[in-house]
Chains A and B, each alone.
Chain A
Amino acid sequence: MTSAPTALNSYRALPDPDGHFGNFGGRFVAETLMPLILELEQAYKDAKADPAFQKELDYFLRHYVGRANPLYYAERLTEHLGGAKIYFKREDLNHTGAHKINNCIGQILLAKRMGKTRIIAETGAGQHGVATATVCARFGLPCTVYMGSKDIKRQSSNVFRMRLLGAEVKPVVSGSCSLKDAMNEALRDWVTNVEDTFYIIGTAAGPHPYPELVRDFQCVIGNEAKEQILEQEGRLPDQVIAAVGGGSNAIGLFHPFLDDKEIEVVGVEAAGHGVHTGKHAASLTAGKPGVLHGNRTYLLMDDDGQIKEADSISAGLDYPGIGPEHSWLKDIGRARYVPITDKEALEAFKLCSELEGIIPALECSHAIAQVMKEAPKMGKDKIILMCLSGRGDKDIFTVAEALGVEL
């Protein structure tokens, strides 16, 4: 079912030309979209080989996004937990407050190169929507963002932010009214507007080449972190940790470390009310392989292949699937995926705010919660490198509600 890490013995050589990561990935889309996806694949190949594209990307990452962002030694959290040294890769310090912009800059440069004049996107927590609306404003392209009506309610500040940036936010009222339904609706828009529209997918999922290109644009996280940890510690970390919803910040951090085989790779899924309750978003822990949104990957579904609604306090993790490369990494055993509940994430959210003066997004609060479990078990000579994927300002209303505080 899974393929060996290729003749070169690298974990970084996939996908294959048809977009497969072992048994996962692929191109499961309606025929109307196939020519567009093939066109995108070719355009991305050309762009990758063009030094001018890389130069432009680097320019915007540096001067617009604000990279490189710091690799920060979380000293007080380290002391508190009493084990491994903890480092945060500070994606929260990017322009727009999360890692999502790395990918959006890359994709909008690609859209421009392809002569596309209209941008669409889906969003869950609204971070990807904000990042997309931001780059659309910067590059002068009209932008439509699909967002589940449930998420619009719990992420109202991001909705307002997108509108300020000139984007049209379209509420999606079908299905579970969250991220998966927003993605369905974005695909429906794309299939209807095939000539002029570029679909900026926010996570490392969807039909080939999206999982590959989103990963590549997010690898700036891991590449920088690797250089920074070598500079600060003179060695690589023992463990890298990131939260996974669709999995774009995680694959961006993990990928550059995959071939350093002694490094333990840990992905953290949203367990919602607990995996045993059935109300969660832990597709790798409790799902099975299936086909949705253009790729084969682990999904939450029933015995009839009907997709289940995911559940998480974090809108950004509230998705019943996962990027296909994570499914592959799980199956070959190169990465370990663990569940963290809403309650554990909230504890971590509070602890990080109080000890480090950093209010983390609920998404990466899941990763912090796992660090709280791992670090005390490890010696003080060990190093954990975690992706702090976004800042938590957007989540204060959700957290207040969960803590029973009225704002």
Chain B
Amino acid sequence: MSDAIIGGKDRIAKRFAKLKAEGRAGLVTFITAGDPDPEASFEILKALPEAGADVIELGMPFTDPMADGPAIQEASIRALAAGMHMRKTLSLVRGFRDQDHDTPIILMGYYNPIYIYGVAEFLEDARNAGVDGLIVVDLPPEEDAELCVPTVEKGLSFIRLTTPTSDDKRLTKLVQNTSGFVYYVSVAGVTGAGSATNDQIVEAMARLRRHTDLPIAVGFGIKSAEQAAEVARQADAAVVGSAIVSKIAESLDENGKATDKTASMVTGLVRELADGVRNARK
């Protein structure tokens, strides 16, 4: 592997090792690529690490995000309306990588845009752009041959969602081809809906730890610094998506265009969340 493409699961492992050494959990932030437009999205993306994001999930816009709530659906619609597509998503990552070599970027979304791009070509381009892993919502282990196995072979992580409906038998299957970290979706539902109680998270973490040594990130329904801190006491990372994306929506003018407040409103929230996460175990 040449220097130019060092990354993939190595960058993710390095980041979680660093967090462990610092004795704290990480903050994983989600934004949709191209939301509200490609330029503003790039500004937000570049500002995330400095504001406290330890890992970045970048949503690949899709017309029919079946597992997402209204906030992330609307982010996809905004991005697509602004002319976003997969090649632009990858160039966004490339632009980010030119200046940040350490923050892992995970592309998150649905299978169809990848399938239409062509799996082999997509993986090649994604790796060259500096992508470290993928989360593809509608690819359960039953469909591993489609994308998961080729992704792992390419040296990228395929990060799996585990859920409250995953029993022990299912978890064995779920962690099989996964790498990087395991994402625990703490409530059965769409993104941005209700959140789990602390007891539920403690119980779920104990169950997951029996199945994997990988870091565990917990997400769904985390909206405030307090909630992020609570999760950060139990998990290796807290994932925040809808709250950040909603902040983008809030910052737009009456025509839905980015304003000079857009990037700063997002980084403001990310700073608060990062403070919560960083001080959680003190």
Task: Report A's interface with B, CB cutoff 8 A.
Answer: 18, 26-36, 174-175, 180-181, 184, 187-188, 191-194, 290-294, 299, 301, 303-307
> Does B63 lie within 8 Å of A34, measured CB to CB?
no
What residues of chain B lie closer than 8 Å to A306, measured between beta carbons?
61-63, 80, 85, 113
Most buried by B among A30, A35, A194: A30
> Does B165 lie within 8 Å of A32, measured CB to CB?
yes
> Does A304 lie within 8 Å of B69, measured CB to CB?
no
CB distance from B144 to the nearest CB of A (A): 11
Kindly specify which of B48-56, B184-192, B234-242 makes contact with the partner chain.
B184-192
> Does B86 lie within 8 Å of A304, measured CB to CB?
yes
Majority secondary structure, A binding face = mixed
What residues of chain A lie closer than 8 Å to B189, measured between beta carbons?
32, 191-192
> Does B188 lie within 8 Å of A34, measured CB to CB?
no
Complex Cα distance, B136 from A28, in Å, reads 10
> Does B66 lie within 8 Å of A301, measured CB to CB?
no
Partner of A304, one of B66, B113, B164: B113
CB distance from B196 to the nearest CB of A (A): 13
Partner of A175, one of B64, B69, B161: B64
Partner of B163, one of A31, A175, A188, A305: A31
> Does B188 lie within 8 Å of A28, measured CB to CB?
no
Complex Cα distance, B143 from A299, in Å, reads 19
What residues of chain B lie closer than 8 Å to A180, measured between beta carbons?
64
Most buried by B among A181, A292, A293: A292
Q: Please tell me if B154 contacts chain A, counting CB pairs below 8 Å.
A: no
What residues of chain B lie closer than 8 Å to A184, measured between beta carbons?
64-66
What residues of chain A lie closer than 8 Å to B143, measured between beta carbons?
26-28
B 157-178 contacts with A by CB, 8 A:
160-167, 170, 174
Majority secondary structure, B binding face = loop
Query: Known contacts A31-B160, A192-B190, A307-B112: does B64 contact A292 (CB below 8 Å)?
Result: yes
**Which residue of B has the minimal Cβ distance to A290?**
B112
> Does B112 lie within 8 Å of A31, measured CB to CB?
no
B 167-213 contacts with A by CB, 8 A:
167, 170, 174, 185, 188-190, 193
What residues of chain A lie closer than 8 Å to B116, measured between beta carbons?
290, 301, 303-305
> Does A31 lie within 8 Å of B190, measured CB to CB?
no
CB distance from A24 to the nearest CB of B (A): 13
Complex Cα distance, B65 from A28, in Å, reads 13
Partner of A301, one of B112, B142, B163: B112
Complex Cα distance, B66 from A306, in Å, reads 13
> Does A291 lie within 8 Å of B111, measured CB to CB?
yes
**Contacts beyond the supplied A191-B189, A194-B164: 8 A-B pairs with Cβ under 8 Å:** A180-B64, A191-B188, A191-B190, A193-B188, A290-B116, A305-B86, A305-B115, A306-B62
Query: Known contacts A187-B66, A305-B113, A305-B114: does B163 contact A192 (CB below 8 Å)?
Result: no
> Does B112 lie within 8 Å of A27, measured CB to CB?
no
Query: Known contacts A34-B142, A291-B115: does B64 contact A194 (CB below 8 Å)?
Result: no
> Does B167 lie within 8 Å of A305, measured CB to CB?
no
**Which residue of B has the minimal Cβ distance to A176?**
B63
CB distance from A134 to the nearest CB of B (A): 27
CB distance from B66 to the nearest CB of A (A): 5
What residues of chain A lie closer than 8 Å to B167, measured between beta carbons?
35
What residues of chain A lie closer than 8 Å to B163, measured between beta carbons?
31-32
Complex Cα distance, B110 from A28, in Å, reads 9
Partner of A188, one of B61, B69, B80, B185: B69
What residues of chain A lie closer than 8 Å to B139, measured between beta carbons?
28
Contact sample, A vs B, 10 pairs, CB 8 Å cutoff = A27-B143, A28-B138, A32-B163, A34-B165, A34-B170, A35-B165, A188-B67, A188-B69, A303-B116, A307-B112
Query: Known contacts A192-B190, A304-B113: does B138 contact A291 (CB below 8 Å)?
Result: yes
Most buried by B among A194, A299, A305, A307: A305
What residues of chain A lie closer than 8 Å to B69, measured between beta carbons?
188
**Which residue of A has the minimal Cβ distance to B86?**
A304
> Does B63 lie within 8 Å of A31, measured CB to CB?
no
> Does A32 lie within 8 Å of B112, measured CB to CB?
no
**Which residue of A has the minimal Cβ distance to B193?**
A192
Q: Please tell me if B251 contacts chain A, counting CB pairs below 8 Å.
A: no
Most buried by A among B66, B111, B166, B189: B66
For the complex of A and B, the 5 pairs showing the least CB-CB separation, nearest first, are A305-B116, A305-B113, A304-B85, A192-B189, A30-B67
> Does B165 lie within 8 Å of A194, measured CB to CB?
yes
> Does A31 lie within 8 Å of B73, measured CB to CB?
no
- Chain B 119-140, CB-CB to A under 8 Å as 1, else 0, gives 0000000000000000001111
> Does A31 lie within 8 Å of B113, measured CB to CB?
no
- Chain B 87-102, CB-CB to A under 8 Å as 1, else 0, gives 0000000000000000
Most buried by A among B64, B143, B190: B64
Complex Cα distance, B113 from A1, in Å, reads 20
Complex Cα distance, B64 from A306, in Å, reads 8
Query: Known contacts A191-B67, A192-B190, A305-B112: does B137 contact A30 (CB below 8 Å)?
Result: yes
Complex Cα distance, B163 from A294, in Å, reads 18
What residues of chain B lie closer than 8 Å to A33, measured between beta carbons?
165
**Which residue of A has the minimal Cβ distance to B189?**
A192
Complex Cα distance, B138 from A256, in Å, reads 32
CB distance from A31 to the nearest CB of B (A): 5
**Which residue of A has the minimal Cβ distance to B113?**
A305
